[in-house]
């Protein structure tokens, strides 16, 4: 959430940022409601001042034995008007809060201007695409032949997008999770085991509401949401808390299953592991002081890229343009791995800076060592990593002519086997 005073004082800049994100501009409504709020507060303050003055007069008149009935009736009228205005203020504050929640975060100046994904910029590339003298298969064909992922029984038991991992497929999945968590720990992230359901306030805090309600699974009876990412519970872990500056930065890593409805997704891009409704992910989250947040974003991006390099997966890093930037983000990198069997790039991580946008919603603050003032922290997160497409790329890039899969060396201490086949 953006500060209403910032919006008011920088309306042209905010409008420009909203337009760059292809989002709806509600700035006029915000200023109108804020004007209304200010008028109410101004009238209440004037009435309270008049009431205080009248109270002092009543005390003097009583001492002098004068009749105070008229002034008391006037004070009662003022009291009633103040109560009415207080109720009006609650309504206006609620309306203003609701509109403020519809304003997206503003792109950082370093984000390229663009309308669609075609305007994203490749800023880094690593690794070589596999060159093989035999036809490469897509991961769904490899997984089916090896019996390590069962998509059909997932449909039978749940629905499309809820696969079973079987035997060495399940072991490889577990190996990836443990490897990612161990590497995060070595790089200074404290591990959390987080809830996989959150309440409405938590979903609103990270910006899923009001923006991505249709993409979340909702437990109506309890009004709880299945998490779309560990970002939601982990960032809310410190909601309504105030740090001292020396406590920052704080870094967390959490493995969770994630649940996304992916409404409207169809076609070849969702086949196999490319787009699931339930998937596993290790999430990296940081709470930092504003002056270091963009440096910390680059470090987090490096932590995610390091994992891909250790797995030997060719990838490139995209700097997302304004039109392909999320509602809550000021700057975002996407890491995409090359899947040789499909001959396409698959996103496995998004690394984002939110500045104070989420922290303002969740009231996460710190006391500045320099000024002594309380300010909002900046939040940063990224996938470290999302498993389905990593698994897809591992299977497709490491296949042999016989249809076997070579397990990357860094995972072999976890799997206890070097080959699937």
For the chain, what are the domain ranges?
Answer: 4-100, 117-420
- pLDDT at 157 exceeding the cut of 80: yes
Band (53; pLDDT cuts 50, 70, 90): confident
CATH 1.10.287.40 fits 4-100, yes or no: yes
CA–CA–CA angle 309, 314, 319 (5° rounding): 90
Alpha-carbon distance of 75 to 377, in angstroms, equals 45
Helix axes 168-186, 139-146, angle to 10 degrees: 120
Is domain 117-420 given the CATH code 3.90.70.10 in the classification?
Answer: no
- Please enumerate in sequence order all residues whose Cβ is within 8 A of that of 269, keeping only pairs 6 or more positions apart, or say none: 275
Given this model, what pLDDT does residue 117 score? 93
Check residue 262 and give its pLDDT: 80
Q: What tens digit of pLDDT does each residue of 296-338 get? A: 999 999 999 999 999 999 999 999 999 999 999 999 999 999 9
Instruction: For 195-221, give the DSSP string.
Output: -SEE-HHHHHHHT-TTT-GGGS-EETT
- Tokens 């950082």 appear where? 108
pTM: 0.91
Is pLDDT larger for residue 378 or for residue 61? 378
Res 268 pLDDT > 90: no
3-state secondary structure of 57: helix
- Of the chain, the percentage scoring pLDDT greater than 70 comes to 98
- DSSP code of residue 247: G
Q: For residue 55, what pLDDT is reported? A: 82
Average of pLDDT values for 142-169?
97
Q: How much is the pLDDT for 264?
A: 53
- 69 CB-near residues (< 8 Å, 6+ apart): none
Tens digit of each residue's pLDDT (9 = 90 or more) over 229-267: 999 999 999 999 999 999 999 999 999 999 999 865 555
188: confidence class by pLDDT, cuts 50, 70, 90: very high
Summary mean pLDDT of the chain: 95
The answer to whether residue 415 scores a pLDDT higher than 60 is yes
Of the candidate ranges 56-60, 123-127, 281-285, 286-290, the one whose mean pLDDT is the lowest: 56-60
pLDDT at 111 exceeding the cut of 80: yes
């Amino acid at each position: 959430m953006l500060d209403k005073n910032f919006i008011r004082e920088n309306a042209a800049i905010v409008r420009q940022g909203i337009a760059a994100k292809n989002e709806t501009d509600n700035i006029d409504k915000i200023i109108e409601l804020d004007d209304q709020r200010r008028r109410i507060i101004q009238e209440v303050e004037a009435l309270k001042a008049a009431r205080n003055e009248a109270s002092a007069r009543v005390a003097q008149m009583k001492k002098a034995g004068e009749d105070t009935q008229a002034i008391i009736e006037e004070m009662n009228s003022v009291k009633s008007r103040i109560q009415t205005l207080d109720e009006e203020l609650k309504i206006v504050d609620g309306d203003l809060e609701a509109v403020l929640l519809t304003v997206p975060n503003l792109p950082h100046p370093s984000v390229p201007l663009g309308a669609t994904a075609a305007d994203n910029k490749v800023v880094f590339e690593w690794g070589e695409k596999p060159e093989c003298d035999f036809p490469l298969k897509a991961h769904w064909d490899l997984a089916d032949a090896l019996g390590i992922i069962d998509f059909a029984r997932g449909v039978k038991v749940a629905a499309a997008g809820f696969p079973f991992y079987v035997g060495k497929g399940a072991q490889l999945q577990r190996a990836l999770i443990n490897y990612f968590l161990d590497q995060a720990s070595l790089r200074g992230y404290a591990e959390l085991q987080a809830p996989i359901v959150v309440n409405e306030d938590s979903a609103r805090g990270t910006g899923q509401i009001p923006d991505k309600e249709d993409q979340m699974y909702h437990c109506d009876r309890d009004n709880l949401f299945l998490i779309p990412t560990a970002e939601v519970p982990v960032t809310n872990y410190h909601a309504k808390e105030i740090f001292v500056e020396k406590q920052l930065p704080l870094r967390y890593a959490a493995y969770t299953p994630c649940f996304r409805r992916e409404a409207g997704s169809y076609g070849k891009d969702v086949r196999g592991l490319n787009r699931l409704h339930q998937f596993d992910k290790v999430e990296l989250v940081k709470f930092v002081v504003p002056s270091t947040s963009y440096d910390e974003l680059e470090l987090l991006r490096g932590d995610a890229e390091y994992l891909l390099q250790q797995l030997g997966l060719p990838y490139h890093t995209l700097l997302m343009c304004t039109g392909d930037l999320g509602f809550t983000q000021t700057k975002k990198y996407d890491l995409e791995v090359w899947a040789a069997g499909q001959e396409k790039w698959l996103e496995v991580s998004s690394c984002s800076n939110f500045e104070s946008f989420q922290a303002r919603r969740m009231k996460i603050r710190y006391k500045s060592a320099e000024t002594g003032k309380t300010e909002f922290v900046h939040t940063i997160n990224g996938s470290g990593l999302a498993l389905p497409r990593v698994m897809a790329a591992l299977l497709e890039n490491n296949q042999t002519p016989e249809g076997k899969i070579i397990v990357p060396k860094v995972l072999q201490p976890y799997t206890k086997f070097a080959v699937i086949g």
